[in-house]
Amino acid sequence: FIRGKKVGAPPKYAGSKKGDPLTAAKAKVIDALKVQKGYAQLVSEGKPLPKTDAGREGSTWFYREIDGTYWTTLRYGQLSIPLEGTNTAVQIGALAELPAFFDAAIQAIQKGELDEPIMKLQQTRSAALKGETGTIRKAA
């Protein structure tokens, strides 16, 4: 019954409901973008961000310049996703524009527009976690 078939150990992600590593990585980014969208809403309403299990305030991917302009990054784990060359930050403008930007980013990821940089980060992170080449920089 297995004649002519390749036999081997199943890949690590075989039991995942997300499927292959790229699909799983994209799902993580999309889930995190939804959280960031909620954080932007809380900040715009002047409400505090939720606390993490460690008791710290949730981490935002967006920041405000002195002139009031907001910038953001998209991340896979702690790693910023390169969007143009090595550039990772995007100038958004007003805080009220962040949720729409995060929605557009989710749609772009679902369409596969960021597959290449997300896959590269996933492979780098996977190799680093296995102790292979490449390292993961953790935020302080």
pLDDT exceeds cutoff 80 at 11: no
Which residue is listed with tokens 């996977």? 126
pTM for the full predicted model: 0.77
User: What are the φ and ψ backbone dihedral angles of 71, each rounded to 5 degrees?
Assistant: -125, 155
Please give the angle made by the CA atoms of 95, 86 and 84, to the nearest 5 degrees. Answer: 65
Tens-digit pLDDT profile for residues 70-91: 999 999 988 999 999 999 999 9
Q: Are 101 and 121 in contact (CB under 8 A)?
A: no
Quick one: which H or E segment has residue 67? none
Name the residue among 94, 87, 31 with its Cα closest to residue 62: 94
> Tokens representing 13?
């992600």
Average of pLDDT values for 33-58?
92
